């Protein structure tokens, strides 16, 4: 039984890590270059002409981009900027949308002061604009990170 676990462990190691290291050493630029693709509201990080999906970035899930671009120092710095802006940007936009929903709900109550509805609407607009700006900065950093990674590849 222990031999079975050993064989499975070695097989999993070779399938995940060791072959990837050998692949990266012998790969051409066309096989190693990264690109971004949009798919159903998510952004995919794709490698090479084969289109191997390395990860997806979306509202409810994401990957650690710094691990994907770690061979390039400049790409790693930009990936850290992406991580710094993406999480808070998503959270603030979601909070702004929820606040806008509250403003619409409160506006349907007949005996409520209009100042409350106006305040909620202004607050939600500010949150959505601020969060959208953070998300824009994050996606610009992601694009620069991919560019730096591809620039630093051996051709």
Q: 154 near 76, Cβ under 8 Å?
A: no
Q: Enter the pTM of the model.
A: 0.74
113 three-class SS: coil
The H or E element containing residue 74 is: helix 73-107
The angle formed by the CA atoms of residues 83, 89 and 119, to the nearest 5 degrees, is 160
What pLDDT score does 125 carry?
95
Reference 75, options 135, 16, 34; nearest CA is: 34
List the chain residues with pLDDT less than 50: 1-8, 10-25
What pLDDT score does 111 carry?
87
Whole-number Å distance between alpha carbons of 11 and 103: 56
The domain limits of the chain are: 1-29, 64-151
What pLDDT score does 26 carry?
58
Whole-number Å distance between alpha carbons of 45 and 43: 7
């Amino acid at each position: 039984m222990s031999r079975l676990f050993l064989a499975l462990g070695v097989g999993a190691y070779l399938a995940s890590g060791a072959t990837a290291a050998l692949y990266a050493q012998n790969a051409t630029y066309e096989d190693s270059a990264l690109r971004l693709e949009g798919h159903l509201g998510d952004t995919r990080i794709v490698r090479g002409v084969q289109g191997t999906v390395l990860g997806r970035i979306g509202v409810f899930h994401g990957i650690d981009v710094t691990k994907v671009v770690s061979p390039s120092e400049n790409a790693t710095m930009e990936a850290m900027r992406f991580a710094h802006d993406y999480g808070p940007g998503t959270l603030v936009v979601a909070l702004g949308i929820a606040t806008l929903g509250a403003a619409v709900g409160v506006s349907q109550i007949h005996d409520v002061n209009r100042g409350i509805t106006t305040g909620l609407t202004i607050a939600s607009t500010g949150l959505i604009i601020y969060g959208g700006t953070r998300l824009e900065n994050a996606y610009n950093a992601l694009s620069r990170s991919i560019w730096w990674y591809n620039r630093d590849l051996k051709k």
